[in-house]
Amino acid sequence: MAADIFNVTDTSFEEEILKSPLPALVDFWAAWCAPCLMIAPAVEEIAADHHEKLKVAKMNVDENMNIPAKYGIRGIPTLLLFKGGELKETIVGVQSKNRILEVVSKHL
């Protein structure tokens, strides 16, 4: 995993994401999910390019079930963007880096 991306868990989610002073993009994924692996390079590039303005995290849905259930994650990959503790955007499925940036940039 890229240095600019960190793992978040059910227990660390509130502190790391909801209380983050920066907008936070969370990638809900699983190791067995081929589409998740397909978008990983785009998410890593976004994290590296925008690390001063955007916090990027990954949450493994097999290891953490409470937060994905709370936010209605039914399919992966799903990206959720939070700002000021509120869910602002949802991106479901494989998307291009440009499409993800288009959605995220509105909140930076």
Question: DSSP assignment, residue 27?
Answer: E
Catalytic residue among 24, 33, 56, 101: 33
For the four alpha carbons of 61, 27, 95 and 34, in that order, the dihedral sign comes to: negative
**Exposed, middle or buried: residue 47 (CB in 10 Å: 0-12, 13-18, 19+)?**
buried
Active-site annotation holds for 31: no
Question: Is 98 designated active site?
Answer: no
Quote the CA–CA distance of 31 and 78 in Å, as a whole number: 14
Which position among 5, 26, 36, 79 bears the catalytic label?
36
DSSP 8-state secondary structure symbol assigned to residue 72: T
Phi first, then psi: what are they for 16, rounded to 5°? -80, -35
Catalytic residues: 33, 36
